[in-house]
Chains A and B, each alone.
Chain A
Amino acid sequence: MKTIKFCLTRTFRILCIPPHQAYNSQNMDLTPLSWLLAFLPILTVMVLMLAFKWGGMRSSAASWIVTVIVSMAFFGGTWKILAWSQIKSLFLSFNLLYIIWGALLLYSLANEVGAIRMISDAIPHLSSDRSLQVLTIAFLLTSFLQGVGGFGVPVAVCAPILVILGFNPIIAVVLTAIGHSWAVAFGSMATAFEGLISVTAVPGIQIAPYVAAFFALSYVPIAGIITVLSTGWKSLWKTMPAILAISAVMSLTLYILVTNGLWSLGSIGPSLMGLLTMFLITRLPAFRGKANPGKPAENKQSFLLSIMPYILLVSIGFLIILIKPLNQFLSQAQFSLSYPEIVSNLGLVTPAQKSDTISFFSHPGSILMYSILISSLIFHFKGYFKAGALRRILSRLAHSAISASLGVITMVGVSTIMTHTGMTSMIARGISEAVNRGLYPAVSPFLGALGAFLTGSNSNSNILFGVIQKESAHLLDLSVPLILAGQNAGASFASVMSPAKLIVSCTTVGLADQEGIVLRKLLPLLLVPIGLVAVAMYIWALIMGAGL
Chain B
Amino acid sequence: MKFNLNPSRKFRFQVAIFAFEAIITFLMYLALRTDHILLGKILSSLLILGIFSLIFLQ
Residue from B18, B40, B45, B48 within 8 A of A402 (CB atoms): B18
Would you give the 0/1 interface string for B32-45, flagging 1 where the beta carbon is closer than 8 Å to chain A? 10000000110111
CB-CB under 8 A for A79 and B40, given A58-B57, A65-B48, A87-B29: yes
Q: Which of A57, A82, A86 contacts B54 (CB 8 A)?
A: A57
Q: Are A58's CB and B54's CB within 8 A?
A: yes
Residues A83 and B28 in contact, CB atoms below 8 Å apart? yes
* A424 at the binding interface (Cβ < 8 Å): no
The answer to whether A80 and B32 have CB atoms under 8 Å apart is: yes
The answer to whether A87 and B48 have CB atoms under 8 Å apart is no
Q: In whole Å, how far is B43's beta carbon from the nearest beta carbon of chain A?
A: 7
Cβ B54 vs Cβ A15 within 8 A: no
Determine if A16 is an interface residue (Cβ-Cβ < 8 Å).
yes
Tell me the bound Cα distance from A83 to B54 in angstroms: 19
Residues of chain B at interface, number, CB under 8 A: 24
Size of A's binding interface in residues, CB under 8 A:
26
Q: Are B40 and A65 in contact (CB under 8 A)?
A: no
Report chain A residues within 8 Å CB of B51: 61, 64-65, 410, 413
Q: Answer yes or no: A405 CB below 8 A from chain B CBs.
A: yes
Contact assessment for A83 and B44 in the assembled complex, using a CB-CB cutoff below 8 Å = yes
Contact A406 B11 (CB under 8 A): no
Expressed in whole angstroms, the minimum distance between the Cβ of B27 and any Cβ of chain A is 10
Contact between B15 and A402 (Cβ–Cβ < 8 Å)?
yes
Contact at B55–A90, with CB atoms within 8 Å?
no
Minimal Cβ-Cβ distance residue in A for B57: A58
CA–CA, A402 and B12, complex, Å:
10
CB nearest neighbor in B for A79: B44
Alpha-carbon gap, A433 to B28, bound state (A): 38
Contact code string A1-40 (vs B, CB < 8 Å = 1, else 0): 0000000000000011000000000000000000000000
Give Cα A259 to B28, complex, Å: 46
For chain A, residues 76 to 103, give those with C-beta under 8 angstroms from any C-beta of chain B.
79-80, 82-84, 86-87, 90
Across-interface contacts of B41 in A (CB, < 8 A): 15-16, 79
A and B contact pairs by CB, cutoff 8 A, 6 listed: A58-B54, A61-B51, A83-B47, A86-B25, A403-B14, A405-B18
Residue of B nearest to A60 (CB): B54
B25 / chain A contacts, CB cutoff of 8 Å: 86-87, 90
Question: Which residue of chain B is the closest to A65 with respect to CB atoms?
Answer: B52
Instruction: Give 15 new A-B contacts, CB below 8 A, not counting A15-B44, A64-B51, A86-B28.
Output: A57-B54, A58-B54, A58-B55, A65-B51, A65-B55, A79-B44, A82-B48, A83-B47, A84-B32, A86-B25, A398-B15, A399-B11, A403-B14, A406-B17, A410-B54
Number of A-B contacts (CB under 8 A): 64
A interface secondary structure, majority: helix
Central interface residue in A61, A399, A409, A413, by most chain B CB within 10 Å: A61
Q: Is A73's beta carbon under 8 Å from chain B? A: no
B21, B28, B52, B54: most-surrounded residue (chain A CB, <10 A)? B54
Indicate if the CB atoms of A83 and B14 lie closer than 8 Å. Answer: no
A68 sits at the interface (CB 8 A): yes
Residues in chain A near residue B32, CB distance under 8 A: 80, 83-84, 87
Q: Closest CB-CB distance, B48 to chain A, in whole Å?
A: 6
B27 — nearest CB in chain A belongs to which residue?
Answer: A83
Contact code string B4-29 (vs A, CB < 8 Å = 1, else 0): 00000001001101100110010011
Query: Given known contacts A61-B54, A80-B32, A406-B54, is B47 in contact with A86 (CB within 8 Å)?
Result: yes
CB 8 Å contact bits of A42-86 with B (1 = contact, 0 = none): 000000000000000110011011001000000000011011101
Given A58-B57, A406-B17: A15 in contact with B28 (beta carbons within 8 A): no
Q: In chain A, what residue has the closest Cβ to B53?
A: A61
Q: Which residues of A contact B21 (CB under 8 A)?
A: 90, 406, 409
CA distance A79 to B25 in the complex (A): 13
- For A87, the chain B residues whose CB sits under 8 A away are 25, 28-29, 32
Residues of A within 8 A of B47 (CB): 82-83, 86
Cα A330 to Cα B4 with chains together (Å): 47
Q: Which B residues are in CB contact (< 8 Å) with A405?
A: 18
Contact A406 B44 (CB under 8 A): no
Task: List B contacts of A398 (CB < 8 A).
Answer: 11, 15
Q: Which residues of A contact B55 (CB under 8 A)?
A: 58, 61-62, 65
- Nearest Cβ on chain B to A95's Cβ, whole angstroms: 15
> In whole Å, how far is A260's beta carbon from the nearest beta carbon of chain B?
43
Q: Chain B's nearest CB lies how many Å from the CB of A472?
A: 34
